[in-house]
Structure 1
Amino acid sequence: MFRNTKRWIPGILLLVCSYGFIAWKLIGFEADFDGYFLNILDSPIFLLVLILSVFNILAEAVKWQMLVSYIKPVSLQKSVGMVLAGFTSGIFTPSKLGEPVGRVMSLPKEDWAKATLLNYFSGFLQNVVLLLMGFVFIGIMQQDGENIFRSVFYYSLLLLVFCLCMAVFIGVYKNRIWQRVQHFRILNKLLGIGTVLKEIKPLVHGKLMLLSLVRYILYCSQLILLLMIFTQNNHYSEFVLLAPIYFMCITMVPSFVLADLGVRNSVGILLFSTIQVDEVAVVLSVSLLYVINQIVPALLGSASILHLEKKRPVS
């Protein structure tokens, strides 16, 4: 009996941390957004935002289903549950580093390391899309002469050049690097886990990038629609240009868990103030986007965690 009880402890701890963090966030929302939610419910656009959130989760579930199939085939329904559980375990950790915990707990323990690597690989592809698309749009905006866009453009260009140099360096000296790595047992073990990435076929890489692009478009569309709800001006074309830059910036700007929403709001105000968008509208849009795409899936994922913990194989 005690052995079965022990299996529930990790899931319960995840739920306590997640709900504590969510409660802390919602207290701030009540203080900032009191009196505004009635306007949201009156807008038919908000329903579209919610529908896009569902498609966002489905797109991520399809991505995860494709990746985890290299370890163990899973149904789309189970993949959705694993993705939601990942939201719950990742919401209270910096940069969602704890996301793999929820996603892999239904797999055998010997597969956790490979599944974790696949999860971070999925996030890496998503960030590549965010950075590349943001770089394109920041290049367009910096031509207007705004200092803020020029600064971000040069910073992102420097980051891109650094990444390219590192890629070239690794490509040229990969044999020497491999020889050095073989002297370290732990690195050898990590490389052994990394062989799962070699099994991913080029066609699958293309599908994963396409799904990452779909999720990116959904995120941008949601932010644009929320800004349309809370603003009375006709800056819609500027919203289209600034939304990709916003997501690029919050990807590059380092933050820790308790400051995550604050960073998102600060970046949003800094960017959208260049087109005279009201600060309250920006805070509402960014915060509500966070609630819809992070907190709500984390709440739904709590049920998935308990269900996955119940079905997790006993080791």
Structure 2
Amino acid sequence: MVGPLVFCVLCWSIYQQLVKQQNWQGSLQQTWKAVSGPNAWMLVLTVILIFANYGLEACKWQLVVKQVQPASFVQACKAVFTGTTLAFFTPNRIGEYMGRILYMGEGKRIQAISLTIVCSMSQLLVTLLAGIGGILYLMTYANTELLHTFAGPWMKMVLCFTIGAAIVLTLFYFRLAGLVRWMEKIRWLQKPVVYVRVLQSLNATILIQVLSLSVLRYSVFLGQYYLLFNVFDVHITAAQVAGGVSVMFLILSIIPSIAVITDLGVRWKVGIEVVQLFDSNISGILATSLAVWIINLVVPALIGSLLILSMKVFNNRK
């Protein structure tokens, strides 16, 4: 009963969140019109990029978990989609880890959690570094009056915080083995350190490969936004998309949220505040945020819920 229940709850929660947003009908109508518009091919390409997005994430996960259990690319994709489903219901996507380890063998799941966190660290590091570039871009090229209204003195504070966080995270990311050795010296950490000792097997080559895949995945995100802004008549350049969306992702990574409850509202608010620094088409910005939310979160979460259902059916047959 778990699979059907998750699927039904997910659909109902998505509907409830959608109808609570202001002007959701207009955004939905504009999204629907785009399907038959001259730029419909861009919308189709954006949907196809789901597979590039989650395929790259699957490659990252496959690369790190082979330290404890080899996984095929298909199995890695299933794990990523299942993790997305459980992440939909939990604060800041922490359920993603539990969803992925369902595909690991008994006795290896706790180790897999620490390895999965490495994937999240790499993506967060890329988000922080790109966010720093985005803030500098906005401070240089955005509408000065609107920027002051949107951020004011907070912009420099966020910039300093992000630079500090990026430095700390970089040190942690490339010094995981040293972190484990430090934990081994603390008596009360002797038991839990057993489960993170596998991090010592992640050498610099693997960490750089994971980070490179995170950069590629981030580029896919930016490409999706660029395509959808064109679909919904938000006239901004590729550089403006990169600068603005990077700041959007940075803010979304900082603000605590639960995807199924608050994520869409936060995306709409942040999207409007940032992108209107370059273009005033509010309805187009809303439609873009809605389309990205559906394509990158809702559709994968629904796929994951079906995979959970298939796992239940398969186990029952066994």
The interval holding the TM-score normalised by the smaller chain is 0.7 to 0.9
Q: Is the 8 A contact 2:232 2:284 kept in 1?
A: yes
CA distance in 1, matches of 2:71, 2:184: 37
Give the counterpart of 2:273 among 255, 258, 270.
Answer: 270
Structure 1 residue 176 displacement after superposition: 11
CA distance in 1, matches of 2:184, 2:65: 30
Structure-1-length-normalised TM-score: 0.84
Q: Is the 8 A contact 1:63 1:211 kept in 2?
A: yes
SS at 2:292 equivalent = helix
Give the counterpart of 1:107 among 92, 95, 104.
Answer: 104
Equivalent residue number for residue 4 of structure 1: none
| Number of residue-to-residue matches in the alignment | 300
Change in Cα spacing, 1:286 to 1:189, as seen in structure 2 (3 Å) is: farther
Query: Within the alignment, does 1:88 sit opposite 2:85 as a pair?
Result: yes
Q: What amino acid is the match of 1:39?
A: K
Q: What amino acid is the match of 1:181?
A: I
CA distance in 1, matches of 2:127, 2:180: 31
CA distance in 2, matches of 1:175, 1:192: 9
Structure 1 residue 35 displacement after superposition: 2.3
CA distance in 2, matches of 1:132, 1:201: 22
CA distance in 2, matches of 1:168, 1:70: 22
Query: Within the alignment, does 1:142 sit opposite 2:136 as a pair?
Result: no
Superposition misfits of 4+ residues, deviation over 6 angstroms: 165-169, 173-177
CA RMSD of aligned residues (A): 2.9
Q: Is the 8 A contact 1:220 1:243 kept in 2?
A: yes
CA distance in 2, matches of 1:244, 1:300: 27
Per-residue CA deviation, residues 116-157 of structure 1 (Å, 9 max, x unaligned), is 222222111101001101102212321345433763343132
Give the counterpart of 2:30 among 23, 32, 36.
Answer: 36
Structure 1 residue 166 displacement after superposition: 8.7
List gaps (5 residues or longer) in structure 2: none
Equivalent residue number for residue 249 of structure 1: 251
Query: Within the alignment, does 1:133 sit opposite 2:130 as a pair?
Result: yes
Structure 1 residue 302 displacement after superposition: 1.7
Q: What amino acid is the match of 2:66?
A: S
The within-5 A match list for 1:1-315 is 9=2, 11=3, 14-28=6-20, 31-41=25-35, 42=37, 43-144=40-141, 145=144, 146-147=147-148, 148=151, 151-161=154-164, 164=167, 178=183, 181-182=186-187, 184=188, 187-231=189-233, 233=235, 235-257=237-259, 258-309=261-312
Structure 1 residue 219 displacement after superposition: 0.4
Q: What amino acid is the match of 2:194?
A: G
Change in Cα spacing, 1:206 to 1:165, as seen in structure 2 (3 Å) is: closer
Change in Cα spacing, 1:204 to 1:311, as seen in structure 2 (3 Å) is: farther
Structure 1 residue 270 displacement after superposition: 0.8
SS at 2:235 equivalent = coil
Structure 1 residue 85 displacement after superposition: 0.9
Structure-2-length-normalised TM-score: 0.83
Structure 1 residue 109 displacement after superposition: 3.1
Q: Is the 8 A contact 2:58 2:77 kept in 1?
A: yes
Identity %: 23
Change in Cα spacing, 1:119 to 1:310, as seen in structure 2 (3 Å) is: farther
